[in-house]
Structure 1
Amino acid sequence: MSDADGIPETIATYLRLRGLEPSMAKKRRRRKRDDDENLPFAPGRDPKGVGDLLADLTRQAGWDPALAREDLVLQWEEVAGAETARHAHPVALGDGVLTVQCDSTAWAKNLHLMRGVILTEIMARFPDAGVQNLRFVGPDVPSWKWGPRAVPGRGPRDTYG
């Protein structure tokens, strides 16, 4: 290093040979950059783990709500309980309402009574999922009223007994 100017000897030699003097503005700017940026133990200089980097990436990309909804579906058994998960599973999430389809209407009614407990658990574990309410529905049954061969009136149910 050059003693007088605080710049490397090679640059000082080049400037001397070209007949130029180092400017003071360059020195001031350089000193400013060297203050905190190159200190070895400055805050923010520690290496980050891969998990921290991925969490920052997903947060910046806006993927947190979608990932939280996916985690909710994947961890439904832990949220609702093993027995409940065997008889009910989430099928839709829209406008803050999680729709859960049950094996029977009896399970749907029982889970409707337990809605507060399940909703509290979901909100505690997955706050980014955006679940504000739960809707429990019974099994999916075929409808006789829709389709290309639908008949007005009572239709095929007349033969049921």
Structure 2
Amino acid sequence: IPAPPRNPLHVTKIALFSPHATPVSFRHSPFIPLITPFPSRSHTTAPTIAGAILGLIFFLPLIILSSPVWVPAGTLVFIVTAGFLSVCGFGVALVAALSWMYRYFRGLHPPGSDRVDYARTRIYDTASHVKDYARDYRGYLQSKVKDAAPGA
């Protein structure tokens, strides 16, 4: 039985994907394939810039004449967009805060709950120290009042 004829395209595809088929310069310099498209891009950059400049020159009078319309319209669009995005941002922040508080009060220990607990105990300790100091100071003031007015 004769062997089936070999497809030359199949052999070519295999030869292209073998590691020995790649030239040595491309294997050792990975930046060469990145640099090669730039000459073709430079041929398209100049006409694009020239077209933009010519378009600006031709349409500048129209832009200047219509600016009383599009400047307030652009300002209004900017303000509405900024307001919408800020309301959305505040809404997301509110949902995140409420979710954190729900998990905190349910005892699920969300991130940062240890700092809140530390701050709460610190405030409680400070308040109790102030209360004790006020109680001691009140006794001190009452003794001073009795010294100033012995019959009172």
TM-score band, normalised by shorter chain? under 0.3
Q: TM-score, normalised by structure 1?
A: 0.18
| Structure 1 or 2: more strand by fraction | 1
| Structure 1 or 2: more helix by fraction | 2
Instruction: Kindly name which structure, 1 or 2, has the bigger radius of gyration based on alpha carbons.
Output: 2
